[in-house]
A and B are shown apart, each in its own frame.
Chain A
Amino acid sequence: MTSMAAALAASLPAAISRTGTPQPSSIQQQQQPKQFPQRLEGVVDVEAAREVESVQLNSLVFLKMMKHSTDILPPPPANTLQQDRNAPPPTALSSHTDCLGVLLGLDMDGVMEVEDSFALPGGETSLGANSYSDRLLTHLREVQTPDSPVGIYLSTRNGGFATRVSIELLSAVEKAAGGRGKAILVVHDASKSNGGDLSVKAFRLGDGAREAAKLGKWDEKTLTENGITSSTLLSPLPLTITSPTLISAFLSTLTAPSSEPERALSGASSSVALPPSFSPLINPTPSSLTNYLQNTLDSLTLHSHEANNIAFLTRQIAREKVKHEQMVKDREEENIKRRKQGLSEFPSIPKEIKNPTKEPSRLEMICLNGTTEGLAKNMAAEAGKGLVRSYL
């Protein structure tokens, strides 16, 4: 008897091999059993020749995303905020922390199948070795979870567009996956769920954006070279949801009525876990429209704040440039004078400025553009709904 109790101690070896960020082709080899099963041989895309054409989400991932969006999360740590002169003004919009997480799966035959996901703590900006993501993945690998990150999910209240942090993470995933443009971003718009609507969309980086992400720079030159605006940053992908058999059986038990006959109708609550709801019919326009207006105003505030920052930095750069050129010119004149007088010359100042102010990254601006547009679109949709309801 005591040996059984003693046997509870971990007899499984805890040896974890750190493989760092493995290449996708080797991941595929490790995941499948010893040889590829017959049906997969034509489909597993080892050379990554096909672009991702559509995304298939598992219902497990879907439910986990929903659950994460309803968690009460602490505000993000300060190192994720854009480094600027002042912190952006606190708005109602920015008081909701965005929920980010990593998607795991495999792409087969042009369809990206997402099998699992996990949540990331706020403040994570990379997926490299020794990051939270890497450590969690080594644990998950032991329970036969697919361990290749294929993308990021984001659950946000800002109108269904990506945020700067998510784009940075997305480029990290791209790098980890070999940079072939296969990383996907799934955005869940939590601001719409108050009206009973669901909005989950899948994107991948647009072509121009992919170039910029590879370089890791988002300043003006790269923007114009690749023609990046908020509408070309991401290109949408069709999204479907599948359920494995067990889960669909479970889901059907939620709506199936119980086998016992209904004895008391006035007993109110039905015995069905998910009774049909009629919430879309309620006309909440007076309250919800103000919400949307408020959100749009907030995002415009953030946008103008960021625009001010960028303008300030641009002016600073211009000032420094002018000052430096002036210094160079003065030094040259000095040297010419001294040459005439036959004295030794001062060393000439190099053309390049030492430690210039860096060109501001325009990524935040683009994302804010996108969020304002998304919110405005939602506002229009809500207004349209209100119109339809009034005319019912």
Chain B
Amino acid sequence: MSLDTSSSAIHLNLPPTSTSQLRPPTLITVHPSVVASILTHHSRRPTEADASPRVIGTLMGSRSDNGQEVDVRACFAVPHKEDENQIAVDMPFQQGMMQLLGKTGAKESIVGWYATHPTLNAYSALIQNYFSGETSPHPSIHLTIDTELDPSGKGLGVKGWVSTQLGLSNKPENCAFLPVPVVIKYAESERAALDLLTTAAPTPSPSLPPLPTLSASLGQLSELIDQCLAYVQKVNSGEQSPDPEVGRYLLEGLGRWSSTKEGTEDEGGIKAGLQDTLTVSYLSNLVRSQIELSGRLALLQQAAAQ
């Protein structure tokens, strides 16, 4: 589930190479709202000629206990100026924002920074150094998003990095960025929301009654079953060479289904469930009419008393 364009890199979990005792993180999980937020900041940047082509900002989130996994939950943009000779980042702004955001009660702390340009240069190293100072003793992570909408499909890769010192002298600009895999993470309750957003435009209204989702799921399931049927028929008639993997998978799935289908138990379960659901339905209608009545009565009482 990597967000990056597919790479053949293998990520090894090695003991720390620097003098610090902490290992760099090996996995970065990102909430989708963070990526959407970064893209929005990018599209809102001022379009004057002397402005830099990228925006930067701070990432907030939490770390796992051993520092291996970093969960990015929120972000905000930080104004910065960048040109040929120097780069300037508005630090009081960031500190002010951190203070304000700390009041919301969510347990988030600063974990790194992001930039919307895929290249890493000396300025990145400087900013990384500054942010490492903010997140110490933990190493800070850096996310880059490539905002070029390339027709070859390479754009919008989200890459994660950590930095290590490099070179003979201990200067802040000398560091190497090591890639870290990035993965989208969302809670189960947000699943329906994400499904809604990824359906074809125009997006349907978000307050969906439950039945259309049910019918959509049924439709998908029946499509998949049709596909399987077609495949099996083709293999039987000899048109397609059978793939043992597929066969084993299908067998396993079917086997699981037939073992759980107990005939009599289901029948009884349905009947009892039916009674319960009908009772609940009646109760809810009762409650609703009571509430409406009480609302009207409250108005009436006052009118009678006056």
Q: What is A's interface to B at a CB cutoff of 8 Å? A: 1, 3-5, 7-12, 14, 57-60, 62-64, 66-67, 69-74, 116, 119-122, 132, 135-136, 139, 142-145, 190, 193-201, 220-221, 223-224, 227-231, 238-255, 258-260, 264-266, 269, 271-274, 276-281, 285-286, 289, 292-293, 296, 300, 362, 365-366, 369, 372-373, 376-377, 379-390
The answer on a CB contact under 8 Å between A244 and B249 is: no
The answer on a CB contact under 8 Å between B214 and A369 is: no
Q: How far is the CB of B163 from chain A (nearest CB, A)?
A: 16
* CB-CB nearest in chain B for A74: B105
The answer on a CB contact under 8 Å between A239 and B73 is: no
What are 25 A-B pairs with beta-carbon distances under 8 A? A8-B127, A14-B92, A62-B193, A63-B193, A66-B33, A66-B190, A67-B31, A70-B190, A71-B105, A132-B100, A135-B96, A135-B100, A196-B192, A200-B206, A240-B203, A247-B36, A265-B249, A273-B184, A277-B191, A285-B276, A285-B277, A383-B284, A385-B214, A387-B277, A387-B278
Closest 3 CB pairs of A and B: A229-B295, A63-B33, A193-B189
* CB-CB nearest in chain B for A389: B214
The answer on a CB contact under 8 Å between A231 and B77 is: no
The answer on a CB contact under 8 Å between A229 and B217 is: no
Q: How far is the CB of B172 from chain A (nearest CB, A)?
A: 6
A381 proximity list for chain B (CB < 8 A) = 209-210
Quick check: is B208 within 8 A (CB to CB) of the other chain? yes
The answer on a CB contact under 8 Å between B206 and A62 is: yes
The answer on a CB contact under 8 Å between B221 and A251 is: no
The answer on a CB contact under 8 Å between A12 and B90 is: yes
**Knowing A285-B273, A385-B211 touch, does A241 contact B206 (C-beta < 8 A)?**
yes
Q: How far is the CB of B134 from chain A (nearest CB, A)?
A: 12
B141 proximity list for chain A (CB < 8 A) = none
**Knowing A221-B302, A229-B295 touch, does A380 contact B285 (C-beta < 8 A)?**
yes
CA distance A365 to B39 in the complex (A): 43
A388 proximity list for chain B (CB < 8 A) = 211, 214
Determine chain B's interface SS by DSSP, over half rule. helix
**Knowing A197-B208, A281-B218 touch, does A132 contact B288 (C-beta < 8 A)?**
no
- Chain B: residues with Cβ within 8 Å of the partner, total of 110
* CB-CB nearest in chain A for B106: A71
The answer on a CB contact under 8 Å between B40 and A60 is: yes
Quick check: is B178 within 8 A (CB to CB) of the other chain? no
The one of A72, A190, A384 in contact with B281, judged by C-beta atoms closer than 8 angstroms, is A384
| B 166-200 binary contact with A (CB < 8 Å = 1; else 0) | 00000111000000000010111111111111100
The one of B45, B97, B126, B288 in contact with A139, judged by C-beta atoms closer than 8 angstroms, is B97
**Knowing A1-B171, A220-B302 touch, does A247 contact B89 (C-beta < 8 A)?**
no
A116 proximity list for chain B (CB < 8 A) = 40
The answer on a CB contact under 8 Å between A143 and B41 is: yes
Segment of B9-17, B19-27, B79-87 engaged in the interface with chain A: B79-87
Q: How far is the CB of B95 from chain A (nearest CB, A)?
A: 10
The answer on a CB contact under 8 Å between A258 and B6 is: yes
The answer on a CB contact under 8 Å between A280 and B213 is: yes
The answer on a CB contact under 8 Å between B214 and A362 is: no
Quick check: is B43 within 8 A (CB to CB) of the other chain? yes
CA distance A274 to B33 in the complex (A): 15
The one of B43, B85, B87, B207 in contact with A200, judged by C-beta atoms closer than 8 angstroms, is B207
* CB-CB nearest in chain A for B89: A8
Q: How far is the CB of A388 from chain B (nearest CB, A)?
A: 7
Q: How far is the CB of B303 from chain A (nearest CB, A)?
A: 6
The answer on a CB contact under 8 Å between A144 and B45 is: yes
The one of B6, B77, B249 in contact with A260, judged by C-beta atoms closer than 8 angstroms, is B6
CA distance A34 to B105 in the complex (A): 39
The answer on a CB contact under 8 Å between B44 and A143 is: yes
A372 proximity list for chain B (CB < 8 A) = 287, 291
B203 proximity list for chain A (CB < 8 A) = 240-243
A387 proximity list for chain B (CB < 8 A) = 274, 277-278, 281
Q: How far is the CB of B156 from chain A (nearest CB, A)?
A: 5
* CB-CB nearest in chain A for B31: A67
Quick check: is B110 within 8 A (CB to CB) of the other chain? no
Q: How far is the CB of A127 from chain B (nearest CB, A)?
A: 14
Q: How far is the CB of B232 from chain A (nearest CB, A)?
A: 14
Quick check: is B120 within 8 A (CB to CB) of the other chain? no
B284 proximity list for chain A (CB < 8 A) = 296, 376-377, 379-380, 383
Further pairs besides A63-B36, A66-B186, A246-B156: 16, Cβ < 8 Å = A5-B126, A64-B36, A66-B193, A71-B73, A120-B104, A193-B190, A197-B192, A227-B299, A239-B205, A239-B207, A246-B40, A250-B36, A274-B194, A281-B221, A373-B291, A376-B288
CA distance A241 to B203 in the complex (A): 6
B35 proximity list for chain A (CB < 8 A) = 250
Quick check: is B220 within 8 A (CB to CB) of the other chain? yes
CA distance A73 to B73 in the complex (A): 14
The one of A72, A269, A273 in contact with B107, judged by C-beta atoms closer than 8 angstroms, is A72
The answer on a CB contact under 8 Å between A139 and B285 is: no
| B 88-119 binary contact with A (CB < 8 Å = 1; else 0) | 11111100110010011111000000000000
